[in-house]
Structure formats: structure tokens, C-alpha cells
Amino acid sequence: MKRVECLYFCFLLLVVISFGLYIRFDDIKFWNSNRELFFYKNSPIYSEYDSYYFARLALDIKEGKFKPGSIDHYRVFPDNSSQAKLDEKDKFYIKYTVSGNLISIIWAYLSNWFNISLEKLTWYLVPLLAILVAIPLFIYLKNLDYPYAGLTGGLIAISAPMYISRTDLMRLDHDILNLAFPIFIAYTFYKFFKISDRIKKYTWIIIGSLFLILYQLWYGHPNLNFVLLFMFLFRYFWDKRLKWTKEDLIYVILLILPQIWYVYIGPVHLYKQVKTLVFNIKSPTAAEILFKDFPNIFMSISELQKLKFEEVIGSVIFSYPLGILGLIGAFFLFLFNLRNTIFLLPFFVIGLLSFFSGARFAMYLAPFIGIGIGYLIYLFFNKIMPYLTLFKETEKQKVIIHFIETLFLILIMWIQKPVLGFNSYPKVFSPLVKDMDYIKIHTPENSAIWTWWDYGYAFQLYSRRTTFHDGGSQGSPKTYFIARSFTIPDPREAWYITSFISNFGLTGIAEKLKKGISAKELVEMVKEGKYAKEIKTPVYWVFTMDLFGKFAWIHYFGSYNFDTKEGKFGRIIAPAQCKILTENFIECDNGRLSIDLNSGIITDSNGISTINYFYFKTQEKFIQKKFFEKGYIIEVVRGKEGGQVFIIDPDVFKTLFNQMYILRNYDPKYFELILDDFPYMVIYKVKEKIW
């Protein structure tokens, strides 16, 4: 009977894994139906911003540029030199490191060994690695005699909307193993304490120690490794008190000594994270204190936003009642099995942070809600039902329990079925990749790209050019200055800003602020050209089509008032599916919005609005028409692939973003148009000097 049960559980685990693979590879149909946008030169494009970073590091490794401890010259220009630092503790430059970048190293070597592109490797390998968490979770819980808890935990873990969104097709990122690593390490600890055979104890402690190192190299978060080690030692003291033998010391040394090179900073990192994430007490660095008067860029990042309680549950499972039951069941599991599950407890706590801190922690909650559901079912059928004496035959009871718990697994698959409607897609579409490739071919190798931070990693990968900021360095005053350059109407001031940042960078900003100059005064001095110098490195302003939707925040930061500590959102609305029905009547969004160029009226679901000015732009002509003294600006711009309608706030019209990107209206004294591939990308070379 045990053999049959074992085979049956293996079959169910295979079903769970197959379900996880199916909901990921199901995206292939969607990708193939959009090949012209999702593939470039027959290779799929990455589906997440950080993926471009890890892919770029892998490419650097393949090309021999990745040297641990050396400065990464693709990032944070012009602060990518050894002189770029505030003091010996606060450095602005970024170095190549192995810790936290094992994923890039693995990808680079696998790509070389099997002669397969990094993109194709990601296409096949990410879904396979993302579902691995179900295996150690099932084995762990089965060892605790809760096999169905392990199965439901794995099922919900790999199908949770938040986990799907962080491990979907073409998403090359840490998250594909960020659940599997700690759960497997916790399992090795459990096995160490469970068995008494000396050889097996040595085997499990060595395996645990090895995977701790791999986990650090993979994720680079010593605080997480520290809590795993702490829980191991806590269990040791729980079992042994102070009655340790020499062999006990050997076990602990085998586990901890290989981790000394990094784990010593774990407690400090843990302390800082607990203060920040749990108690919202922040300990700013010297650089953050110095730059504190500049706007906080992180307020615009969605994954750092808090979710409501029901939204957290919804990001794990589509049934709110089952989500609540799973949460309750998880608490019961730890309450009644703390000695054997204590190694998992810190990661359950991390999952609970999703109720108080950022949404990203919900993926850590997913396996525990699944385990909790399975554990409650176990309690009901194995602890409560026997008291009702409904089943006097043990074998019959087992069969019924297997049947009912299997039905629950099927029910959860049906509940999680809506994830099939979640489609991943590239963060950079192929026309943009083509233009990024154009930059690599048509600009000097030492060029620097001046654009918004979201595509920073992508430019580093596809253009192989350095950027001023990116997704890991957007929190500095450089982001404010870039936002200001796009928001102001004066090209001279924009050139002054570009010159200042290109020549001084964060190091220069810090030096000025340390002399007692306020952030507001510094901006005024830059505006007046006090720090204007010849731009020795070729700098290219690059506008990309994603910035239409992001311009509201760009305008907010660029218009930031240092006295009121606020900016002003500037909207650019680009309605979809616009059709010119008659010469003077435009209909958009399937009839939900209309623009009457006879009366100067915009009509939508919110009512009617007036038009101030209407502009019509083609490569050959530029037409202007005035309607009312106040109202929106309407711009109809024809590019290479049809036209685009823009509804713009009056304050936005004069911004360089609108003038240089949408209208391609620029001052040749300061800029030279290099590429006009509107709306995908428009590139200007900044003049080296203006005098």
C-alpha cells in the first residue's frame, strides 16, 4: 500500500509541475502571434526590466568584460570611475560582483557550452526553473506526514498571480529560484535533525552549507542566509541546550565557516530591513542625507506600493475565502509543528510583510497559503473526523481522504485557471530594439545615453552604451536633472544641465552641496550656466515611445518646487484606435472619445472639454489652428507608420519633451537630429560646445 501511495503522490506531484509548466508555456501562442513585436532577429525579447541587466552581465562574461571587483563602465555615467565617491563608505560607482549574479554566470556558460543564444536559453529554462519550488516543498511536507499540504503549497506557489508575474516567459531574474533555494536549504536542516546516522548527518550538513553559498551567490542577500543559520542554531540550542559534544561543534563549523565571507554583514542588513519594512524607520546613508532635498523618485515605482488586505490575498489565490483559510492553516501548521518547521518561519514572515510593506513580498506568502489549505484538510480528516467515528475501517478512510484531497487539488487548479489569461510581453518591443541596435552601430563606443531610467538596462544590453541612470540607480539627483531637462522649454538650460551632469555627475553635485549650497540654489546656478563646460564624451538624448505614459511622473519630478516639496503632473494622453471619420472629426477608443475640429470640442465619458490649439504635423508640413483661450492642446502627428493623436495639457506643450520628441522641433545650436523613427525612438546628439 505504501508503494502505491508513493507512486500516487509522485503522479500528483507530476500533475502539479505539469500545470505550472502549462500556464507558463501557454504564453508561447501569444508570443508567436505577435512575433513582429516580440522577437528581434528571430530571438525573443526579455519581458522584465531587470532581465536586460542579467542578460547584459551574461553577455559581458561571454565577451570577457566581466571582471569581479572591477568597475562596471556601462552604468551610472559619469560616476563610473574610482574617483566617484562621497567618502570611503559611500561610493557612487558600481563594481562587477559574483555575489548576486550567479544567474548571469550560469547563463553565459550554458550559452557557450550548448551554443545557444541567451534569449533562447531564457525561453526554455526560466519556466523549468520557476516550478522547481514545488519539489522540495512537497518532499519536506511529505516527510512531516502532510503530503497534500506539500502538494497544495507547491500548486499555489507556482500558480500565484504574483509569482507568475515574477517568473513568466522570458523573465530572467532571481525570482525563478528565490523560493526553491530557501525551502530546499530548510529541508536539509530538517533532515539533519531528523536522522541519527552520523554519515547521513554529515551529508545533509554539507549539502545545506553548499546550497547556502549558492543561495548567496544567486541572490546576494546575506540577511536571508543569516536567518536560516540563526534558525538552525536556535533549533540546536532547543534540542541540546548547552550540552554540545565535539561532533556538534564540527557540524556547526561545517555549516557556518564556509559562510563567514559574507554572513557577517547579515545581522546588520537584517536590522536595517526590519526597521525599514516593519517599523518604517529609515536610516539614510550620508549620500541620502546630502541629497535629501531632491524629490523622492521611488514614489513612482509600483512594486513598492502597498496593497490592501484583499489585494494581497488576490495576488496569491483567486478565492478570497480559501486564501483566508490558508492563512489560518499556515499559523496552525507552525503552532503545532514549530520544531520541525522553524527553518521556514522567517520566509512566512517575509510573506506576511506583503500586508504591511511592498507588494513584491506576496510571492513568499503563496506557498504558505497553499500549505495552510492542505494542513486544514489534514486536521479535519485525520484529527476531527476520527472523533465522529464515521469510518471504522482505516483503509477505507485512507482511500476517501485521498479522493477528497485530490478533488481539492483539482479544485485549486480550476480556481487558479484565470492565470492562463495573464500574458507576458516584452518590456521593449522589436522596433525599439532595432533602434537600440542602431545606436550600437552608428555612435562612438564611448557614447553616453541620456534618457529616462526604465530602459537603462536595455540600452546597456542592446546598444552596448553607458547610461546616466537605470533601474538600479534611479534614486539619485541625476534623475531629477534628467526629468527637468525634458520638462523645461528652454534648450539652453537643457544643454547646461546636460553639460553639468556629464562633467560633474553625482560627485560634483555632492561637492557643491557639501560646500553649503542648497539643492534649490544649485539648480539655479546650473540654470544660469555657472558650471557649463564643453561636453567631452558624446552624449545622445534618446526619446522612446514608453515615455508617453511615464511623462506625468517625469513632469512631476522635472517641475519639482523645492519650497513646497511638490511637483505638477503633466499629462500626455495618447488615445488608441483613432480614426479620422471626416476632415474635421476624429474618433478614438472605439467611439468613447471624439474630437470635433469644427467646434473645438472634445467629448468623452467625463463630458466635454475645449481645445486651445490644434496642431497637425507631418514630415513635410506643420499646421496650427486656435480655438479657445483655454483648453487642451491637440496634436496629430504622422510618422512612418500612420498617425498618432495626442491630447496634451497646456503646460506640457512647450516642454522639450513635446517639442523635440513629438513635434521634432529643436534648436540646432544645441542639438543635432540623428534618428527620427517616431513614435518608436527619436535621437539627438548634444553639441559638444555652444560658444
| Average per-residue pLDDT for the chain | 93
Distance between CA atoms of 7 and 558, rounded to whole angstroms?
63
Q: What is the pLDDT of residues 35-61, one digit of tens each?
A: 999 999 999 999 999 999 999 999 999
C-alpha cell at 454: 526604465
Distance between CA atoms of 166 and 366, rounded to whole angstroms?
13
pLDDT of residue 668: 97
- Closest of 125, 128, 113 to residue 51, by C-alpha: 125
Beta bridge pairs of residue 379: none
C-alpha cell at 450: 541620456
Mean pLDDT of 317-325: 96
Buried b vs exposed e over 399-411: b needs ≥16 C-beta within 10 Å? eebbeebbebbee
- Closest of 580, 570, 575, 593 to residue 647, by C-alpha: 575
pLDDT of residue 390: 59
Q: How confident is the model at residue 551 (pLDDT cuts 50, 70, 90)?
A: very high
C-alpha cell at 256: 557556518
Q: How confident is the model at residue 304 (pLDDT cuts 50, 70, 90)?
A: low
- For residue 411, give the DSSP letter: H
- For residue 469, give the DSSP letter: -
CA-CA-CA-CA torsion for 110, 213, 208, 168, nearest 10 degrees? -50
Residue 621: pLDDT over 90: no
Preceding omega of 44 cis (within 30 degrees of 0)? no
Q: What is the pLDDT of residues 12-42, one digit of tens each?
A: 999 999 999 999 999 999 999 999 999 999 9
Mean pLDDT of 313-341: 96
Residue 389: pLDDT over 80: no
pLDDT of residue 64: 96
Distance between CA atoms of 72 and 65, rounded to whole angstroms?
9
Q: What is the pLDDT of residues 563-613, one digit of tens each?
A: 999 999 998 999 988 888 877 899 998 889 999 999 999 999 889 999 999
pLDDT of residue 682: 97
pLDDT of residue 47: 97
Q: What is the pLDDT of residues 349-383, one digit of tens each?
A: 999 999 987 777 999 999 999 999 999 999 988 87
Contact (Cβ atoms closer than 8 angstroms) between residue 637 and residue 678: yes
> pTM for the full model?
0.94
Q: How confident is the model at residue 618 (pLDDT cuts 50, 70, 90)?
A: confident
pLDDT of residue 393: 67
Mean pLDDT of 75-93: 91
What's the burial of 243, exposed, middle or buried (CB within 10 Å: 0-12/13-18/19+)?
exposed
pLDDT of residue 469: 97
Mean pLDDT of 101-122: 97
Mean pLDDT of 224-242: 94
Mean pLDDT of 454-481: 97
Residue 388: pLDDT over 70: no
Q: What is the pLDDT of residues 623-679, one digit of tens each?
A: 899 999 999 999 999 876 678 899 999 999 999 999 999 999 999 999 999 999 999
Contact (Cβ atoms closer than 8 angstroms) between residue 12 and residue 402: no
- Closest of 203, 222, 181 to residue 344, by C-alpha: 181
pLDDT of residue 152: 97
Q: Which residue has the cell 561545517?
A: 254
Q: How confident is the model at residue 86 (pLDDT cuts 50, 70, 90)?
A: confident
pLDDT of residue 552: 95
Q: What is the pLDDT of residues 192-228, one digit of tens each?
A: 999 999 999 999 999 999 999 999 999 999 999 999 9
Contact (Cβ atoms closer than 8 angstroms) between residue 174 and residue 166: no
Helix (H) or strand (E) holding 102: helix 102-114
Contact (Cβ atoms closer than 8 angstroms) between residue 450 and residue 540: yes
Percent of the chain with pLDDT over 70: 97
Distance between CA atoms of 379 and 328, rounded to whole angstroms?
12
Q: Which of 108-112, 303-307, 398-402 shows the lowest mean pLDDT across its residues?
A: 303-307
Beta bridge pairs of residue 71: 95
pLDDT of residue 673: 97
* Whole-Å CA distances, 265 to 186, 268, 290, 376, 398: 21, 5, 25, 39, 49
Percent of the chain with pLDDT over 90: 83
Residues 6 or more apart whose CB falls under 8 angstroms from that of 688 comprise: 534, 535, 536
